[in-house]
Amino acid sequence: MKVPTYLALICVALVMLFPFFYMFATACKDDAQLARSELLPEGRWHFENFAIAWQKEPFTRFLVNSTGVALATVTLTLLLASMGGFALAKYQFRGRKWIFVGLLATMMVPSQVTMIPNFLTCSRFFLLDSYAGLVLPVLPLAFGIFLMRQFIGSIPNTLMEAARIDGAGDFRIYAQMILPLCQPALVTLGIFTFMASWNNFLWPLIVLDTPGKYTLPVGILRFAQQYDIQYNYLMAVSLLSILPIAVLFLSFQRSFVQGVTVTGLSDR
Amino acid sequence: MNGRVRRQLTPYLFLSPSLAVVAIFGFYPIAFAFYMSFHHWKILGQPDFVGLKNFLDIAVKDEFLVALRNTFLYSIITVPAGVVLALGSAVLLNQRLRGRSFFRGVIFFPVTISMVVIALIWSWMFSENYGIMNVVLPGLGIEPRAWLADPKTALAVIMIMSVWKGFGYGMVIYLAGLQTIPGTLYEAARIDGATPWQRFFHVTLPLLNPTTLFVTVISFIGSFQVFDQVYVMTEGGPGYSTTVLVHYIYNLAYVRFQMGKACAAALLLFLIVLIFTLLQLKFIRPQTEETA
C-alpha cells in the first residue's frame, strides 16, 4: 500500500507546487526567454527582475496599505468580537438569545446581497475611497463573536466569581483574566481575519478609486490590465505579494487549519 | 448609578460596539436590499416603486439565464470534483506516513493565497502565445489553442483552476472528520476479513456522511458566489461564455448603475442558494441519521 500511496501523493504535490514554481521561473526571465516559452530560463536567471518589477508601480505603497488595512481589521475584530463573545457567554440579560440568533442570521446572507447597500451607505457617509470604508463593512464580527462565545463559554465561572470576590470589576475581569485565557482562540481568529483581509478583492475593488490607496490585489490587477503587460514583472510582483501569507502559513499552519475548520465560511 | 443597574448594563456595553457595526453593515443592508429590489433607481433622484418588475425583467433576460446556466455548470462540476479530491487526499493523508504534514501543507497552501494572484498565474500558464500549457499539452496530443479566449475551453480552465485552489479546504475538514472514527471499527472490520476497499466503502464513507454533507453544502454555496477568478481571467467572456451570477450582479450595479435590478438579482442568487442548500440538507440528512 505504501508505494502507490507515495506515488499518488508525489504526483499531487507536483501538481500543487508547479504553478508556484512556474511563477518563480517566469519572474526570472528576460523578454527573449519569455518569448521562447521555455520552462526554465535558458542562460542567466534574472533575479534583479524582482527589484525592477517592484518599482514599476507604487507597490511599496500598496504593501503598506494592505498591511495597515489587515492589521486594523484584525485588531478591531479581536477587540470587538472578544467583548461581544464575553457578554454573550458570561452574562444573563434580556435579548441575549435574539442578539445571538440575529448575528448568526447575518452569516447566512451572501456578501453579494449586502455589498450594494453597503456601497451606497459608504458613499453617503463619505467612506468611499477611504481606509475606514475598506475595513468597517467587512469586519467578520458575527463569526468572530460566535467563535469567542464558544471559547469563553468553556472557561469556568468559578474563576470569574473568585476574581469578583477579590474586588475586580467587569472590565478588569475581561481585560486581565478572559483575554489572556482566550489566546488560542484569538490567534485562530486573528490569522483567519488577516488572511481574509489580505486576500479580499471584490470589496476593495468597489470601494477604492485613488491608485495611491490600492491594496495589493487591486494594485496587482490594475498592473496586469495594462495593455503591454510584461509577465515576468507581473509574476515577480505577484510572488512578492504572497510572501507575507506564505511566511504566516509556515509558522502557524495549525492555526490556519483550525480557523478554516471552525469557520465553514472561508473565501470572503 | 447604583451597582445593580450598572451590573445589568454591563453586557450591553460590551456588545454595543459590535452591534452598532453589525446594525449598519449587516442588518440594514439586508433590509435595504429587499426595499431596493422593488424599486427602480439609478443612484440619482428618488427611487420609484415598480413592484416585481425588476425580478421579472431579469428572469427573462438572456444574460441572466446564461449567467445562471454557467454558474450551475460551474457548480455541478467543481463541487463533486472538489469533494472527491478532498476525500481522497484526506484518506491518504490520514495514515501514518513520512512527510505527512508536508503533503497536507502543500495541498492546503493554495487555499490561503489570494485568488487574484492564483488566477494570474493560471492565465499565464494557459496564455496562447507563450504559456507553458501550449508547450506541454501538444506532447500529450492536445492541440495548442487560446484556452481563455475560446468559448469552448475558457470556463473549463476556470473550473480546473478553482478545484485545484480549493480542494485543500475540504481535505482539512475531512481530516477532522476522520479523527472522529474510532479505530476499533477498523479492527473489527479487519477481523471480519474486509479488504481495504470494503473498509473504505462500508466503514469510512458512511461514517463520514455528516462531513460530506458539510463539505458539499459549503462548497456549493461558495461555488455559486464565484467571481474573482472570472473577473481576472476572462471578465465574463469571450461573449458570455464565462459570465457567472456575481459577475452579472457586479455589471448591473457598478457598470450600468441599475441598483434595483442588481439587488433583485442578488436576492435571486440568495434564494437559489438557500433552496439548494435546504434540498441538500433534506436529502442527505436522513441517510446520516440512519448510519449514526
CATH number of the CATH domain containing B171: 1.10.3720.10
CB-nearest partner of B18 from A83, A246, A266: A83
The verdict on a CB contact (< 8 Å) between B121 and A220 is no
Q: Is residue B48 part of a domain?
A: no
Alpha carbon of B152: minimum distance to chain A alpha carbons (Å)? 23
- B112 and B230 part of one domain: yes
Report A:124-143 residues touching B (Cβ under 8 A).
136-139, 141-142
Which residue in chain B is spatially nearest to A31 when comparing CA positions? B130
One-letter amino acid for residue B207 of the chain: L
Given a contact cutoff of 8 angstroms between Cβ atoms, the answer to whether B232 and B119 are in contact is yes
Give A216's contacts (C-beta < 8 A, 6+ positions apart): A59, A62, A63, A65, A66, A198, A241, B114
Is there a domain that residue B106 lies in? Answer: yes
Distances (CA, A) of A246 to A35, A198, B106: 30, 12, 11
Measured between beta carbons, the chain B residues lying within 8 angstroms of A137 are 25
Q: Domain check: are B23 and B64 in the same one?
A: no
Q: Give the residue-averaged pLDDT of B11-33.
A: 93
> To the nearest whole number, what is the mean pLDDT of chain B?
87
Sequence-distant (6+) residues with CB within 8 A of A253 are B101, B105, B108
Range scoring the smallest mean pLDDT among A71-85, A214-228, B12-26, B126-140? B126-140
- C-alpha pair distances (Å), B242 with each of A7, A29, A103, B155, B164: 35, 31, 34, 5, 18
Please check whether residues B33 and B62 belong to one and the same domain: no
Residues B156 and B218 in one domain: yes
Q: Which residues share a beta bridge with B39? A: B49
In this structure, is residue B255 part of a structural domain? yes
pLDDT one digit per residue (tens) for chain A, 268 residues: 688 889 999 999 999 999 999 999 998 988 888 878 778 888 888 888 899 889 888 999 999 999 999 999 999 999 999 999 999 999 999 999 999 888 888 877 778 888 889 998 999 899 999 999 999 999 999 989 988 998 898 889 998 889 989 988 899 999 999 999 999 899 989 988 999 999 999 899 999 999 999 999 999 999 988 877 888 899 999 999 999 989 988 888 877 777 666 654 433 3
pLDDT of residue A265: 40
In a domain, B16, yes or no: yes
Q: Which domains does chain A have, with CATH numbers?
A: 1-47 (no CATH), 57-263 (1.10.3720.10)
Select the residue of B14, B28, B274 nearest A83 (Cβ to Cβ): B14
Interface contact flag, A117 B263, Cβ < 8 Å? yes
Here the cell at position B30 is 439586508
**B44 in any annotated domain:** no
3-state secondary structure (DSSP) of residue B13: helix
Which residues of B fall within a CB distance of 8 Å from A38?
135
Residue B64 belongs to a domain: yes
Q: CB of A91 within 8 Å of any CB in chain B?
A: yes
List A residues 132-191 in contact with B (Cβ-Cβ < 8 A).
136-139, 141-142, 145, 170, 174
Residues B101, B221, single domain; the answer is: yes
Name the residue of chain A whose CA is nearest to B36's CA: A117
Residue B292, pLDDT score: 37
Note whether B276 and B210 are same-domain residues.
Answer: yes
Say yes or no: B29 and B124 in one domain: no
For chain B, what is the domain count?
A: 2
Full domain range(s) for residue B19: 3-37
- Residue of B8, B30, B122 lying closest to A19 (CB–CB): B122
Beta strands in A137-187 (DSSP E): none
Cα A31 to Cα A21, A51, A53, A155, distances in angstroms: 19, 16, 13, 60
Angstroms from B12 CA to nearest CA on chain A: 7
CB contact under 8 A, A5 and B218: no
Tell me, yes or no, whether B27 and B59 share the same domain. no
Q: CA of A84 to nearest chain B CA: how many angstroms apart? A: 5
Q: Please check whether residues B97 and B30 belong to one and the same domain.
A: no
CB contact under 8 A, B10 and A145: no
Q: Which positions in chain A touch B25 (Cβ < 8 Å)?
A: 114, 118, 121, 136-139
More confident residue, B88 or A44: B88
Is B239 inside a domain boundary? yes
Indicate whether B19 and B117 sit together in one domain.
no
pTM, to two decimals: 0.87
Task: Quote the CA–CA distance of A144 and A172 in Å, as a whole number.
Answer: 21
Distance between CA atoms of residues A228 and B173, nearest Å? 42
Distance (Å, whole) CA B79 – CA B220: 6
Q: Is residue B15 part of a domain?
A: yes
Interface probe for A, chosen from B4, B10, B15 (most Cβ of A below 10 Å), is B15
Chain A, window 55-74: residues with a beta carbon less than 8 angstroms from a chain B beta carbon = none
Same domain? For B72 and B208 the reply is yes
Please give the ipTM for the structure prediction: 0.86
Q: Are residues B10 and B136 in the same domain?
A: no
pLDDT at B289 over 80: no
Cell of B94: 490520514
